Amino acid sequence: MTAEPTATAPTTAAPRRPGAAVVLIALALGLLVLAVASACIGQVPTSPAEVLGSLAHRIGLDLGPMPAHPSGEVTLWQVRFPRVVLAIVVGAGLACAGALLQGVFANPLAEPGVIGVSSGAAVGACAVILTGGAFVAGTAVAAAAFVTGLITTILVYLLARSDGRTEVVTLVLTGVAINAFAGGLIAFFTFAADPAARDQIVFWQLGSLNGATWEAVAVVTPMAIVGIAVTMMLANKLDLLSLGESAAAHLGVNVERLRQVAVLVVAVLVSASVAFTGIILFVGLVVPHLMRMVVGPAHRLLIPASVLCGAIVLLAADLGARTLVPNADLPLGMLTSLIGGPFFFWMLRRTRKQQGGWA
250-274 burial, b at 16+ Cβ within 10 Å, e below that, comes to eeebebeebbebbbbbbbbbbbbbb
Fold of 87-355: ABC transporter involved in vitamin B12 uptake, BtuC (1.10.3470)
Whether 292 has a pLDDT exceeding 80, the answer reads yes
Interatomic CA distance for residues 17 and 56, integer angstroms: 37
Taking only the tens place, the pLDDT of each residue in 204-233 is 888 899 888 999 999 999 999 999 999 999
pLDDT at 2 over 70: no
Task: Please state, in angstroms and rounded to a whole number, the distance separating the CA atoms of residues 200 and 205.
Answer: 9
The answer to whether 93 and 272 have CB atoms below 8 angstroms apart is yes
Residues 237-283 have pLDDT tens digits of: 999 998 888 898 898 899 889 988 998 999 999 998 888 898 898 89
Determine whether 4 is exposed, middle or buried from the number of CB atoms within 10 Å of its CB (0-12, 13-18, 19+): exposed
In this structure, are residues 347 and 285 in contact, taking their beta carbons and an 8 Å threshold? no
The whole-angstrom separation of Cα 200 and Cα 317 is: 21
Is the per-residue pLDDT at 355 higher than 90?
no
Which residues, including other chains, have CB under 8 Å from residue 41's CB and lie 6 or more apart? Answer: 319, 322, 323
> For 46-65, how does the pLDDT look when each residue is reduced to its tens digit (9 = 90+)?
899 999 999 988 888 878 78
Whether 93 contacts 273, CB under 8 Å: yes
Read off the pLDDT of residues 93-150 as tens digits, 9 standing for 90 and up. 999 999 999 998 887 777 787 788 888 999 998 998 888 765 566 678 888 889 999 9
d(CA 48, CA 56): 12
pLDDT at 5 (0 to 100): 47
Amino acid letter for position 227: G
Q: pTM of the prediction?
A: 0.87
Q: What is the mean pLDDT of the chain?
A: 86
Question: What pLDDT does 82 receive?
Answer: 95
pLDDT in the model for residue 16:
55
Task: Using CB atoms within 10 Å of the CB of residue 218, give its burial: 0 to 12 exposed, 13 to 18 middle, 19+ buried.
Answer: exposed
Tell me how many degrees the CA angle 321-324-327 measures, rounded to the nearest 5.
Answer: 85
Rounded-to-integer distance, Cα 207 and Cα 51, Å = 27
pLDDT at 28 over 90: yes
Q: Is the pLDDT of residue 200 over 80?
A: yes
Instruction: Name the residue type at position 347.
Output: M
Q: What is the pLDDT of residue 135?
A: 55
Is residue 4 very low, low, confident or very high in pLDDT (cuts 50, 70, 90)? very low
Q: What is the pLDDT of residue 351?
A: 66
Which pLDDT belongs to residue 184? 94
Task: Give residue 33's pLDDT band: very low, low, confident or very high (50, 70, 90).
Answer: very high
pLDDT band for 306, please (50, 70, 90 cuts): very high
Cα separation, 90 vs 137, in Å, equals: 21
Within a 13 Å sphere around the CA of 179, how many CA atoms are in the beta-carbon half?
Answer: 13
In DSSP notation, 88-128 reads HHHHHHHHHHHHHHHHHHT-TT--GGGGTHHHHHHHHHHHH
Going by C-alpha positions, the residue among 27, 106, 12 that lies closest to residue 294 is 27
